[in-house]
Amino acid sequence: MYANFRSGSLSINAGLLSALHRAGAKPDTDVLVSGVQGNHYNAIALLTDGAPFDIHIPGWPRMPADDVPLLPLAVAEEILANELKEFQLFASKQRVLGYRCFMHLSAPPPVPDAEFIRSKLPPLPSGEPPEISSADLRLKLWTMQQKMVRTAVEGHGGILLGPPAGTQDAEGFLKSEFWKDSVHANVNYAALQLNQIHAVMLGLQSDEGQQHG
Amino acid sequence: MADSGGMPCPYRTIARTAYWRDSVAKILPEDLDPVLNPRFTFSRDTKIATAGSCFAQHIARYLKTVGDNYMVTESGHPSMSDSLKATYNYGTFSARFGNLYTTKQLVQLFDRAYGNFTPVEQPWGTANALIDPFRPAIQPNGFASQIEFDRDREAHFAAVRTMFETMDIFVFTLGLTEGWRSIEDKAMLPVCPGCGAGGSFDPEKYEFVNEKVSDVTANLHAIIERIKSVNSNAKVLLTVSPVPLVATYSPHHALTATTYSKSVLRAAVGEIYDIYDHVDYFPSYEIITGAFNRGAYYGDDLRSVREAGVFHVMKLLFKHYLGMELTSPAGESAPAASDPQLKPSGKAENRASSYIAKVVCEEELLE
């Protein structure tokens, strides 16, 4: 059964469902795959909104920008945690609802190229060109978000599917062949995610076979 | 009537407010008003900065509820919610300097902000939870790294400079004469190291001080002259905190030590008032501690100030300096102002819910 966590109705799009079936997923696997609420780090800092800032994560390989205010890390964590409250609630429901397996697709890493992001954004109401936050800040916030989401998902028995292998550059940004728009990855990235899901589900079937074999 | 043919007794011609019986004993406690002839007033555009001991936070709290007079130069990033800003003490003070209990702290804050004094005292805490010894309660759980600590302090000093240079009125509440300082360079700390707010006590590094009237007067002279050097138009409103000492390190009883400390502060302020025309004194100390209220303005611990007492103080401050009549304390809802153009902001952090007015006070960690 592929079910919506709230209404119980089908929530996986038909294409994905079909791919899962072709891949051998059994319809009664009781799996929930979610990809919700990945954009919070962008909501906080895709654009500077006239108030650019940076943060410093101890051990981060690069120094924070020295021409913008430095937001205390704890403050940034609290802002992000507040944004993720609804996701925390969502994650906490999964075990209660009794899915055998709960997989969550993490948000794709940020695109480093500000010009590319700007070219994909709709015009601002002010008519001013959008000012994109520094790539390194967005990567730091994405990393923090990953950590929080992982804690939430794994804390409730789920599996966090991180960026598929080979989709990140040496610094951790999304490679250009997977860019779609300012915040989303493209179908090539999605195909790799399907492979990730497939691998997990095959593992479930294998387990099932061992249990019943 | 003249005595023995001389001039009439000079007391015959003085105002009734000069008589205890008429101005204190016969007045209903809630109607007592000891404020006479303020030297200046606040207009709607007046930028008011506040600093000092815990009691100074009440002035900020009330000012925030009724308009835009309250000046905050270190207000936190716009992405922070009001409650998050409050947690991290953005807006609790005009800049994030924390409580400045002694006048020496204030002078040294100015000097540190302008690069004229760099204390040797290093951050307290651990590498990923650094505590600023000069504002130990400002950042819950400390700063995450030395870089963050340094950058935050740099931004803080810039905010302090902006405050001093652009404020119209500086309201400073004198709190204590007792304190602890570094033996090496006399850097005054807001709390004794190792007493709950961080650091560890070392008698080879720190010494106790209890300022005299001459010390406090000298410090007030110093800060007034320093402010004048960067902002010649700024006026200063001094108040003395009515909150007793949590504990004294002097050999005296807590009660006599409190009396000494508050007396010193009050006497020093009186001297300064007589010297500088642009410095005024507001008697919040007398309103709270005066026998006329029979102790009603203190909580059960005989130290915390009840909201009713804070309201009495603020009612008179707003009446005499802002020309406004406050009709309800901030403790139950945002205070109502009689001026319809000065509406309460209604922000959550401005609504004190407690019977006893709550403030951020590091010294309470001593208990």
At A113-167, the pLDDT tens digits run 999 999 998 888 888 888 999 999 999 999 999 999 999 999 988 999 999 999 9
What pLDDT sits at residue A13? Answer: 64
Give the H or E element holding residue A14. Answer: helix A14-22
What pLDDT sits at residue B337? Answer: 42
What pLDDT sits at residue A46? Answer: 93
Answer yes or no: is pLDDT of B357 > 60: no
Strand partners, A174: A168
Q: Is the pTM of this model over 0.90?
A: no
| Nearest one of B77, A37, A164, B290 to B85, comparing CA atoms | B77
- Please report the ipTM that was assigned to this predicted complex: 0.79
What pLDDT sits at residue B363? Answer: 64
Answer yes or no: is pLDDT of B354 > 60: no
Q: Given an 8 Å threshold on Cβ–Cβ distance, is A51 in contact with B78?
A: yes
Q: Which of B77, B128, B141 sits opposite A69 (nearest CB)?
A: B77
B325-334: average pLDDT: 66
B195-220: average pLDDT: 96
What pLDDT sits at residue A92? Answer: 80
Residues A143-152 pLDDT 10s: 999 999 999 9
Residues A10-56 pLDDT 10s: 455 667 667 767 766 665 557 778 887 788 899 899 999 889 999 99
Residues in chain B with CB shorter than 8 Å from the CB of A138 are: none
Output the DSSP codes for B118-156.
--SPPPEEETTEEE-TTSTTSSTT-BSSHHHHHHHHHHH
What pLDDT sits at residue B81? Answer: 92
Residues in chain A with CB shorter than 8 Å from the CB of B88 are: 72, 74-75
Query: B203-209: which pairs have CB atoms within 8 A and are 24 or more residues apart?
Result: B206/B180, B206/B181, B206/B182, B207/B180, B207/B181, B207/B183, B208/B178, B208/B179, B208/B180, B208/B249, B209/B178, B209/B179, B209/B180, B209/B181
- Sequence-separated (6 or more) residues with CB below 8 Å from residue A175: A166, A167, A168, A169
Q: Which of B77, B87, B141 sits opposite A71 (nearest CB)?
A: B77
Residues in chain A with CB shorter than 8 Å from the CB of B87 are: 78
Residues B52-107 pLDDT 10s: 987 788 888 898 887 788 999 999 999 899 999 999 999 989 999 999 999 999 99
| Nearest one of B362, B365, B364, B366 to B98, comparing CA atoms | B362
For chain A, helix (H) and strand (E) counts, in that order, are: 7, 3
Helical spans, DSSP H, in A53-186: 73-83, 85-97, 114-120, 135-155
Give the whole-angstrom CA distance, residue A165 versus residue A163. 6
The pLDDT > 70 percentage for chain B reads 89
Where residue B55 falls (left for φ over 0; alpha for ψ -120 to 50; beta otherwise) is alpha
